[in-house]
Structure 1
């Protein structure tokens, strides 16, 4: 093979990687952007108060089933506008999912760095906690905690934040040990940098891409877990509402008013699908073994 052919091949490989995004990823980003906009602008785009009742229009059909444009997605059993409740539910579910994902990632990374720095007994204790968390059925633990301590939004978010932290701990520990083996972390430490600076300013930025991909892959799990607990009545409590809460109430009217359950179910499926697709694409783009 000539030198010209080799140079052409090496030049076209990065060009292929820089090619445009697949259509599916563009659609996924568009949906995520729309959902984020709805969550941030919920107070301004809501056509009605999500708790406002109109008993004269209870169980009104949506537009695509012959209903009126005054309630595009119909109304529920109390005459509350489904679209208004859906908008507020999106904001609540995203707030819970974002908060829980950040708590889980922060806890896991901190324990992973702790295990990588001290090794020995500290590492064994952290890994024992990781194994215990991985073996514990989280849904049963969540049901027990919520039933015993009652429910509040802060407790609910913190509880969901305990789900999946062990994967971040494993990733952070392994990558931090790898960074120490590569020498740059040890070199910075020998120059007098504190452990906070070594891990916060040098190790963490180098493993951030892997952690971000892990967060995008775990985010849909949090949404589904919140939806499941709210469906069981242990999530967001009235008068608050979430996507799982709407599905839980809508199941009682599945035969008479399926649109109550249909709207939040479609949002849950599309949101989890979009975030999962984005996470898979980011993993392929950021994985150094594929470069």
Structure 2
């Protein structure tokens, strides 16, 4: 009976009001810094994937490509224009004026304008020569992988013979006997380094033949040119691209060396190596003539080499 009365009273009587919650909540400082921490982690992950040296290398290469493609639009003067009254003018920082920021050479020609023209010609020669070298190497590598047998052994013997020959001496002999022109010079440099690309292309093509996609296309009746051109080549293109980026700076140095010896790009055209060759006679009285193109050669080859090494590590599945 008492239990039923207590239950009835509790049902009729409204519940007592709870005391108001007087606690003061303070924001968690970790929540405020969460976005900052996320931004830092993202920045850290970005620079781990793209190191600062790689970003600087990409910036420099893009700058050189822009100069090579659009430099003639921003060049202050014609690179062949002479002004004997301003010959051997000093650059800015060494007593010169902004009329000639990098000074002038022995004939009063603007070093900035000549440097822009030299970058355009040197990079064009290096790019075309690397493209010729890659074409020869990939074609012979694929041919050796497809023919096998004695034909493959013959191609490998040619590759070994090319690798054993000092290319600089061969280039000097060819240019001395056949003369020099920009087309001949570019084609000659295209025969440099093709043997390495041929070895890589042959090995990758042999390995790709044993994989499923090449065997499936072969079973469907595809021709060898279609198998190698449309299926194997796209799958090994990343490795070949890395090989080309490693061959590119060597071609630049080779062109610079031959032009420095007077057997490369001939006047009135100019190149980075030719500018260094012109300035060697004035290295004590006017060192700025050769310092600017020499610095461009060093920085460009270094940036391309760094980018090639980074691409090799990026595309290497064993490092992932």
TM-score by length of 2: 0.85
Give the C-alpha shift of residue 240 in structure 1.
0.2
- Pairing partner for 1:155 from 172, 178, 184: 184
Partner of 1:65: helix, strand, or coil? Answer: coil
Partner residue in 1 for 2:62: 33
Partner residue in 2 for 1:88: 117
Task: Please say if 1:171 is aligned against 2:171.
Answer: no
Give the C-alpha shift of residue 72 in structure 1.
0.3
Give the C-alpha shift of residue 18 in structure 1.
9.1
Partner residue in 2 for 1:49: 78
Aligned partners of 1:38, 1:265: CA distance in 2, in Å? 16
TM-score by length of 1: 0.93
Task: Please say if 1:24 is aligned against 2:24.
Answer: no
Q: Work out the number of aligned pairs and report it.
A: 278
Partner residue in 1 for 2:106: 77
Return 5+ residue gaps in structure 2 as ranges: 1-43
Aligned partners of 2:109, 2:231: CA distance in 1, in Å? 52
Task: Please say if 1:257 is aligned against 2:286.
Answer: yes
Partner of 1:70: helix, strand, or coil? Answer: coil
Backbone CA RMSD of aligned residues: 1.4
- Pairing partner for 2:158 from 129, 136, 141: 129
Partner residue in 1 for 2:129: 100
After TM superposition, the structure 1 stretch with the greater mean CA deviation from structure 2, 179-188 or 206-215, is: 179-188
Partner residue in 2 for 1:200: 229
For residues 226-265 of structure 1, what are the structure 2 equivalents within 5 Å?
Answer: 226-265=255-294
1:226-251, Cα deviation, whole Å (9 max, x unpaired) = 00000000000000000000000100
Give the C-alpha shift of residue 212 in structure 1.
0.5
Partner residue in 1 for 2:30: none
Aligned partners of 1:122, 1:287: CA distance in 2, in Å? 31
Partner residue in 2 for 1:9: none
Return 5+ residue gaps in structure 1 as ranges: 1-14
Aligned partners of 1:241, 1:27: CA distance in 2, in Å? 27
Give the C-alpha shift of residue 98 in structure 1.
0.1
- Pairing partner for 1:274 from 276, 289, 303: 303
Give the C-alpha shift of residue 20 in structure 1.
4.0
Aligned partners of 1:18, 1:110: CA distance in 2, in Å? 38
Partner residue in 1 for 2:313: 284
1:163-213, Cα deviation, whole Å (9 max, x unpaired) = 010001000000000001223212211211111110011100110010011
The higher-RCO structure (CA 8 Å, 6+ apart) is 1
Give the C-alpha shift of residue 125 in structure 1.
1.1
